Amino acid sequence: MANPSLLILAGDGIGPEVMEQVKRVIDWFGAKRDLRFDVSEDLVGGSAYDAHGTPLHDETMAKALAADAVLLGAVGGPKYDALDFSVKPERGLLRLRKEMDLFSNLRPAQCFDALADFSSLKKDIVAGLDIVIVRELTSGVYFGEPRGIFEEGNERVGINTQRYTEGEIDRVARSAFELARRRSGKVCSMEKANVMESGILWREVVQKVRDTDYPDIELSHMYADNGAMQLVRAPKQFDVILTDNLFGDILSDCAAMLTGSLGMLPSASLGAPRGDGPPRALYEPVHGSAPDITGQGKANPIACILSFAMALRYSFDQGDEATRLEQAIEAVLADGARTADLMGADGGQPISTTQMGDAILTALDNSL
Ligand code: NAD
């Protein structure tokens, strides 16, 4: 059988630096776990613009559509700030998300014990935290029509429209339930059904999908404002949180910061299932291209490596190997290894991007 295919788009700034460490991890799984991928690499963002005059070449788009999974580093940088909007690096990423129809955005908030002091919350509230927010990504108020700024009488009015079809809610609910089946089987859906019709429809459809096809899932509903409060009060009560585009944008940033540093946060964006195969999927760290530290060997590669762990779990059905990788990272952090972004006020000597990669490979060796 052919190996599963993985397209790597390292992008700009620290993207290629952190991706270098992911490639070493991929090689490790090939050599030590006989887990091999057909890896190809291409350009996205500013680097694609420099080579082709476009932030995403059509050929790259076709490769992404054909791949079992895409792993992206980061795009953007000051060099490209003056470019026309249509060819800005971010347009490459937006095109990938749109044409791959990635409607389900997974943002885990996982707190490694060794970093619990980094959270702005008390250690016992966040230590051991492991939740995932599933955010609908391609509809809702960011896309609904009518939208715009209009003249009304003698003043202007700004309009955006929250709009969800049953089909859009149905498919993202399924994505959350499938995810929950690989975890604790618990989903909390968040909307504002008390004041929004789209929230009433959201709640009805999510409940129906659960009752019809996922009776094994324990589903609860919560108003999103209460959800925000509960996330800060007692985040460990949740496992999978399902929510719309707008609330998901806010709640996932809030949840992410429970865990500390931007250099630690992975994400996945998933599309519809393709026959028996995995859904289209794009895995990427939450952080950007970090121009302020590019080329200095300071970037933390963990967010990108954790994004590959998500690919192992959600695209390649290798949950045990994903756990092995996450535990290797946990061990390295417990040992005190820190890139500059993870240094506490008490000082110490930070290690470089490559040294963090070295430490993770050693911990993987120790896991055998
Ligand atoms: P950023 O995430 O690049 O950086 C914010 C801060 O966090 C910086 O101080 C940076 O040094 C630090 N940081 C980020 N990732 C880190 C890592 N892995 N290790 C250590 N420190 C890390 O956000 P920004 O500065 O607002 O944006 C910079 C560029 O990245 C812009 O061009 C922006 O458009 C782009 N961007 C891209 C994406 C993406 O590719 N998905 C996301 C956000 C921003």
Q: Whose CA is nearest to atom 23 of ligand 1?
A: 288
Pocket flag, ligand 1, residue 303 (CB < 6 Å): yes
Q: How far is CA 205 from the centre of its chain?
A: 25
Whole-number Cα distances in Å, 95 to 101, 119, 135, 232, 315: 9, 34, 18, 34, 21
10/346 Cα distance (integer angstroms) = 33
Residues facing 136 on adjacent strands: 104
Question: 311-340: per-residue pLDDT in tens?
Answer: 999 999 999 999 999 999 999 999 999 999
Closest Cα to atom 27 of ligand 1: 288
| Nearest to 162, CA basis, from 131, 130, 195, 187 | 195
Q: Which residues contact 296 (CB under 8 A, 6 or more apart)?
A: none
Region 132-136 average pLDDT: 96
Q: How far is the CA of 17 from the centre of ligand 1 (A)?
A: 13
Separation of 177 CA from ligand 1 center, angstroms?
31
| Ligand 1 center–CA 249 separation, angstroms | 17
Q: How confident is the model at residue 62 (pLDDT cuts 50, 70, 90)?
A: very high
* Token code pair at residue 152: 């009304």
* Residue 346: pLDDT over 70: no
What would the mean pLDDT of 201-222 be, rounded to a whole number? 98
User: What does pLDDT average to over the chain?
Assistant: 94
**Which residue minimizes the CA distance to atom 43 of ligand 1?**
288
Nearest ligand 1 atom to the CA of 11 is 40
> Which residues lie across from 15 on neighbouring strands?
none
Residue 79 scores a pLDDT above 70: yes
Q: At residue 347, does pLDDT exceed 90?
A: no
Tell me the one-letter amino acid at 219: L
Q: Does the CB atom of residue 253 touch ligand 1 within 6 A?
A: no
Locate the ligand 1 atom nearest the alpha carbon of residue 18 and give its number: 18
Dig out the tokens for 349 from the structure: 């000597």
Question: Does ligand 1 come within 6 angstroms of the Cβ of 21?
Answer: no
CB 61 within 8 A of CB 95: yes
| 75 CB within 6 A, ligand 1 | yes
Average pLDDT over residues 172-191: 95
Sign of the torsion formed by the C-alpha atoms of 119, 125, 131 and 136: negative
Protein residue closest via CA to atom 38 of ligand 1:
288
CA distance 42 to 51: 11
Q: How confident is the model at residue 117 (pLDDT cuts 50, 70, 90)?
A: confident
Query: For residue 275, how many other CB atoms are within 10 A of its CB?
Result: 5
113 pLDDT higher than 90: no
Q: Which of 83, 96, 262 to mutate to test the pocket of ligand 1 (most atoms within 8 A of CB)?
A: 262
Sign of the CA dihedral with 217 first, then 218, 219, and 225 last = negative
Residues 129, 321: Cα–Cα separation, whole Å: 20
Structural domains of the chain ordered from first start:
1-103+271-368 (3.40.718.10), 116-129+136-259 (3.40.718.10)
CA dist., res. 173 & res. 171, Å (int): 5
Question: Quick one: pLDDT at residue 120?
Answer: 83
**What's the pLDDT at 239?**
97
Residue 125 reports pLDDT greater than 80: yes
Would you name the residues annotated as active-site residues?
Answer: 142, 192, 225, 249, 253
Contacts of 292 by beta carbon, 8 Å cutoff, 6+ apart: none
Q: Is the per-residue pLDDT at 261 higher than 80? A: no
Q: Give me the amino acid identity at 179.
A: L
User: Dihedral angle at the C-alpha atoms of 53, 56, 57, 62, nearest 10 degrees?
Assistant: 180
Mean pLDDT of all residues in 84-113: 93
DSSP-derived letter for residue 234 is -
Q: Give me the pLDDT at residue 291, please.
A: 97
Name the DSSP letter for residue 4: P
Q: Which of 65-74, 119-128, 254-263 has the lowest mean pLDDT?
A: 254-263
Residue nearest to ligand 1 atom 11, measured at CA: 290
Q: What is the pLDDT of residue 345?
A: 59
In the predicted structure, residue 118 carries a pLDDT above the cut 90: no
